[in-house]
Amino acid sequence: MLVAVTRGVSPDIGHCELTHLEREPIDIDVARTQHTLYERVLEDLGCRIEHLADEPDFPDSVFVEDIAVVLGELAVITRPGALSRRGERPSIERALSPHRRLAHIRAPGILDGGDVLVAGRSIHVGLSTRSNVEAVEQLRRIVADHGYEVFEVGFRGCLHLKSAATAVSNDTLLINPEWVDAGTFPGKTCIPVDPSEPNAANVVRVGDTVLFAAAFPRTGGRLAAAGFDVQPVEASELAKAEGALTCCSLLFDVPNPIEHSTQE
Ligand code: CIR
């Protein structure tokens, strides 16, 4: 079964890190309502939600994706590029350690999970203000024994690689070609977002369903036309904190709980 690790919205979200956006007021109640609906959608799709205790002192702590990269074989605890986010790690380590062996990115490496796009056995890592080549080298060594190929990716115009590209299947990506070149992903089919929706490339794949932000119906339509089962999710309030859909969960497989038969 799938587990989704999530965390509620910090009351201090108004002091979040911002790189490409101007600061604007975030309505905490709206953000929390949308986040709860996001969790409910994941639950309806069969995920078991592991909702972590709030971290009120860490404004960006709802964006759990940045703190770890969870693979089938192990989880890599990142060293976030923003200093303000490094204290988010201990609680994520505690949450993941029952499920996976842990490895760590160490200084001088910096890595945000939002820069790490896993598609099948390919791991594409965006080089950004949050992620550097030292971290890519460390990640390459960490996963070397498990058959993954790790690629460095250049992109522009947004905070994380996964704002520019996410996987809708193991061999198909949704990309904004203004921010990342399709040629960056050899062997993958790339579906471009609708040009009027530059922020639409961040979608979450849950089993056979692809969740897309409700603000981007044209891109949702493109995915549906390409044969994907799509579902819109409202995520406009956390978008003001530069967060998108993938950022709010760590999704991974765990063995199904053993079912105890009542019959002798
Ligand atoms: C930050 O700048 O770290 C947060 N305000 C937004 C992080 C969004 N995370 C993601 O795209 N993976």
Residue 157: both structure tokens together: 């115009």
Beta strand 250-253 with 68-70 is unpaired
pLDDT value of residue 258: 65
pLDDT value of residue 256: 84
Q: Whose CA is nearest to atom 7 of ligand 1?
A: 243
3-state secondary structure at position 153:
strand
Architecture of the domain spanning 2-253: 5-stranded Propeller (3.75)
Q: What mean pLDDT value characterizes the chain?
A: 96
Residue 261 has pLDDT above 70, yes or no: no
- What average pLDDT does the segment 93-101 reach? 98
Going by C-beta distance under 8 Å and a sequence separation of 6 or more, which residues neighbour residue 251? 2, 3, 4, 42, 47, 70, 204, 206
From the CA of 247, how far away is ligand 1's center (Å)? 7
Rg over alpha carbons for the chain, rounded to the nearest Å, is 18
Residue 186: both structure tokens together: 């050899």
Return d(Cα 133, Cα 129) in angstroms, integer: 11
DSSP state of 10: P
pLDDT value of residue 260: 53
pLDDT value of residue 3: 98
Contact 191, 175 (CB under 8 A): yes
Beta carbon of 38 within 6 Å of any ligand 1 atom: no
pLDDT value of residue 259: 56
pLDDT-derived band at 144 (thresholds 50, 70, 90) equals very high
3-state secondary structure at position 90:
helix
122-125: which pairs have CB atoms within 8 A and are 24 or more residues apart?
122/148, 122/149, 122/151, 122/185, 122/187, 122/188, 123/69, 123/148, 123/149, 123/150, 123/151, 124/151, 124/153, 124/161, 124/165, 124/184, 124/185, 125/150, 125/151, 125/152, 125/153, 125/161
Return d(Cα 202, Cα 184) in angstroms, integer: 17
Residue pLDDT, tens place only, 18-52: 999 999 999 999 999 999 999 999 999 999 999 99
Provide the residue ranges of all domains of the chain, joining segments of one domain with +.
2-253
Beta carbon of 114 within 6 Å of any ligand 1 atom: yes
Q: Indicate the length of the chain as a whole number.
A: 264
pTM above 0.85, yes or no: yes
Contact 119, 166 (CB under 8 A): no
Cα→Cα distances 18→89, 104, 184, 203, 242, Å: 20, 25, 26, 21, 7
From the CA of 244, how far away is ligand 1's center (Å)? 8
Pocket test for ligand 1, best of 63, 85, 162 (most atoms within 8 A of CB): 63
For 132, phi then psi, to 5°, come to: -125, 175
Return d(Cα 123, Cα 121) in angstroms, integer: 7
pLDDT-derived band at 257 (thresholds 50, 70, 90) equals confident
Beta strand 101-104 with 209-213 is unpaired
Return d(Cα 67, Cα 170) in angstroms, integer: 23
Q: For residue 98, say if its preceding peptide bond is cis, omega within 30 degrees of 0.
A: no
Look up residue 2 and give its amino acid. Answer: L
